[in-house]
Amino acid sequence: MVSKYTRSHLTTAKTPLRNKLFLAGIYLGLLTILLRLFYWQIIEGSWLKSAALSQYERVQVTKGQRGQIYTQDGHLLVGNATKYHLVGYPYLLEKTPAEISQTILPLLLNDLAEYQESTDEAEKKELQTKLKEKIEQQLSKDRVKWVSLFPNLSEDTKKSFLALDLAGLDFETTAVRLYPEASLAAHLTGFVGKDEQGQPLGYFGVEGALNKELSGKKRKITFSADALGFSFFGLNSINFASTAGRNVTLTIRRDLQTLVESALKNGLEKYGATAGEIIVVKPQTGEILALAAEPKFNQSTYHEFEEYLYKNPALTNLFEPGSIFKTLTVSAGIDAGVINPETQCPRCDGPRQINQYSIRTWNEEYHPQINMADALAKSDNIAMIFVAEEMGPDIFKKYLNNFGIGEKLEIDLYGDANTPFPEKWGPVELATRSFGQGITATSLQIVRAVSAIANQGTMMQPQIIKKVLDPDGEEIVVQPKKVRQVISPETARKVTEMMVYAAKSGEAQWTYSKTHSVAGKTGTSQIPAKEGGYKQDATIASFIGFAPPENPQFLMLVKLIEPQSSPWAAETAAPLWYKIAEKLFLSLNIPPDQQQSEL
């Protein structure tokens, strides 16, 4: 009898149990997989997505477009342009270098200046062949990440490339400053270079002073890239809001700026001067209508010029003003009540001996009992000493400080700063400073000071910014700012009359305007030598004046450094001043005055 517990029976009895265990294992495995999928898809899903995207997305932080700079009459001085550099990634090419070269060659020839300017068919054919060979050679390189194909493509050509959708080609873009007016107003605009991190940074002029306002805000650019970090051609996406910098409008007029720059250049050639400056302002507001300085630089190629040329000499260079300073001396004397235009000088019959120094007039002519109006017209040094001595050093210094000598302008130009004001005021220093020797100032400080005389004694803050425009359209107009009342309106009126008389009857009377009244004063000053004393036969010739005298529409300073044709301002700076003024009368719609028309 076969036992019911045979091996076969036992095996058969265990089979259902094994099946159940097997199925349970499968179910458990599936459940584990589902739980893991739930964990990674739901719980860790967002992290996984970010991790995946991070394999192909790159983020670059850049700045938005820099603000533009305009003249007050709406002409663009400084704008922006984008340079497109075509580059290739040989390992990403889907076509042969020869095929790509054949496809893109016509587009590149459109932007090849030599090809477009050539009229020789043989030369054009050679240029075409060389460019095609270069592209093929570059794209055939292996073991390189990228190759340069063509720099400085235009915006239109770039768009044409994008339409081709060629794999393995891309663009590197660089923002650059654009100067439609070439080097016009270079000392006012400054230029844009790079900081230590390679980011755009304004240097000198308005670019330097208002770098923060002109700079665009930082922006984030997200783009698709391969594992090596190279962007996929045509797949870039940009995420940013409006980030442009502020647009700035200057107070200068394009026509006046062009006028004075041309006149200064011609003046330097005519009179053999090594350098020079011309400044035109509106006395009632302090607005700078034009400012030229030579030698100058070109903003777009600034790196090719000596660094000292970047500075605005009218703002930073000190000089001894000479006889144009006498306008401040007589203003102080009249306002202090120690003289009036009719006051006679009791000590003007010869040279003045002060300590061991003998001080003389510029032409060795002396005028006993000369009155102050004639003294200014004849530019009498001895009479100016008399005025300063009547005031004393404390009063004289107070007026010079009020006139802003040594004081920064508070103007939106890079480099504006206080300048040295003399501390020692002995008898000799008091005497020489009365006629503008032994004391220094910048050209813009002198212009600001004399503008106070032209503006009824009120000194205005020099202004170079007319308005600022935010990217959102909000316009901020800069209002004229009064600094202080330096002298009384009555004193200003008297000094203005003295300056009209000086211009009509002084050394430069021969070049006086035949149609318009002018209040003006010549100045011929010596140039200090490095070893001490003054240079021999080297002067700074200047003329400062305003018109019309009773309601000035402009004040202008013409300054020539070391003129060779003549050392005297009456023969150099003054005629140049009047030549420019004749054109200013027309540009500013200043009618002739009847009295002068009769001359």
Answer with the residue of higher pLDDT: 72 or 597: 72
Band of residue 142 on the pLDDT scale cut at 50, 70, 90:
confident
In a domain, 6, yes or no: no
- List the 287-294 sheet strands across, edge first: 287-294, 275-282, 554-561, 534-547, 519-528
Last residue in a domain, options 235, 250, 265: 250
Residue type present at position 528: P
In a domain, 438, yes or no: yes
In a domain, 3, yes or no: no
Answer with the residue of higher pLDDT: 258 or 32: 258
In a domain, 233, yes or no: yes
Band of residue 41 on the pLDDT scale cut at 50, 70, 90:
low
Q: Let me know: does 278 contact 260? Beta carbons within 8 Å.
A: yes
Band of residue 7 on the pLDDT scale cut at 50, 70, 90:
very low
Band of residue 379 on the pLDDT scale cut at 50, 70, 90:
very high
Residues 291, 233 share a domain: no
What does the pLDDT average to over 187-192?
97
Q: Which positions ≥6 away from 287 have C-beta within 8 Å?
A: 251, 281, 463, 466, 480
Encode pLDDT of 96-127 as tens digits.
999 999 999 999 998 888 888 888 999 999 99
In a domain, 485, yes or no: yes
How far apart are the C-alpha atoms of 21 and 560, rounded to whole Å?
A: 108
Mean pLDDT comparison of 15-19, 217-221, 406-410, highest-scoring range: 406-410
Q: For residue 97, what is the DSSP state? A: H
Residues 360, 242 share a domain: no
Residues 285, 223 share a domain: no
Q: To the nearest whole number, what is the mean pLDDT of the chain? A: 89
Task: Look up the CATH number of the domain holding residue 583.
Answer: 3.40.710.10
State the pLDDT at residue 228.
Answer: 45
Residues 269, 222 share a domain: no
Band of residue 217 on the pLDDT scale cut at 50, 70, 90:
confident
Residue 1 has pLDDT above 50, yes or no: no
Number of domains in the chain: 2
Encode pLDDT of 421-440 as tens digits.
999 999 999 999 999 999 99
DSSP per-residue codes, 496-511: HHHHHHHHHHSTTGGG
| Positive or negative: CA dihedral 200, 201, 204, 206 | positive
Residues 440, 383 share a domain: yes
Band of residue 554 on the pLDDT scale cut at 50, 70, 90:
very high
Residue 238 has pLDDT above 50, yes or no: no
* Short-list 401, 240, 419, 393, CA closest to 320: 419
Residue corresponding to tokens 């304004």: 202
Residues 295, 188 share a domain: no
* Short-list 392, 319, 396, 387, CA closest to 352: 387
Residue 189 has pLDDT above 70, yes or no: yes
Last residue in a domain, options 234, 250, 266: 250
State the pLDDT at residue 235.
Answer: 41
Residues 593, 484 share a domain: yes
DSSP per-residue codes, 392-454: -HHHHHHHHHHTTTT-----SSBT-----------HHHHHHHTTT-S--B-HHHHHHHHHHHH
Tokens of 325: 């300073």
Residues 271, 184 share a domain: no
In a domain, 232, yes or no: yes
* Short-list 411, 501, 404, 488, CA closest to 453: 488
Number of H helices, E strands in the chain: 20, 21
State the pLDDT at residue 28.
Answer: 75
How far apart are the C-alpha atoms of 457 and 459, rounded to whole Å?
A: 6
Task: Quote the radius of gyration of the chain (alpha carbons, Å).
Answer: 38
Task: Look up the CATH number of the domain holding residue 225.
Answer: 3.90.1310.10
In a domain, 7, yes or no: no
Residues 146, 264 share a domain: no
First to last CA, the chain: 160
* Lowest mean pLDDT segment, chosen from 42-46, 265-269, 338-342: 42-46
Residues 533, 398 share a domain: yes
Measured CA angle at 38 (ends 33, 43), to 5 deg: 140
Last residue in a domain, options 208, 225, 250: 250
In a domain, 51, yes or no: no
Residue 154 has pLDDT above 90, yes or no: no
- What is the pTM assigned to this prediction? 0.82
Encode pLDDT of 382-397 as tens digits.
999 999 999 999 999 9
Band of residue 236 on the pLDDT scale cut at 50, 70, 90:
very low
CA of residue 228 relative to chain centroid, distance: 41
- What domain range is 577 assigned to? 254-301+312-597
Residues 556, 413 share a domain: yes
* Lowest mean pLDDT segment, chosen from 164-168, 373-377, 516-520, 571-575: 164-168
Band of residue 267 on the pLDDT scale cut at 50, 70, 90:
very high
Which residues pair with residue 534 across a beta bridge?
528
- Write down the H helix ranges in 247-349: 254-271, 313-316, 326-336
User: Which H or E run contains 31?
Assistant: helix 7-38
How far apart are the C-alpha atoms of 113 and 563, rounded to whole Å?
A: 43
State the pLDDT at residue 594.
Answer: 54
Q: For residue 309, what is the DSSP state? A: G
Residues 288, 231 share a domain: no
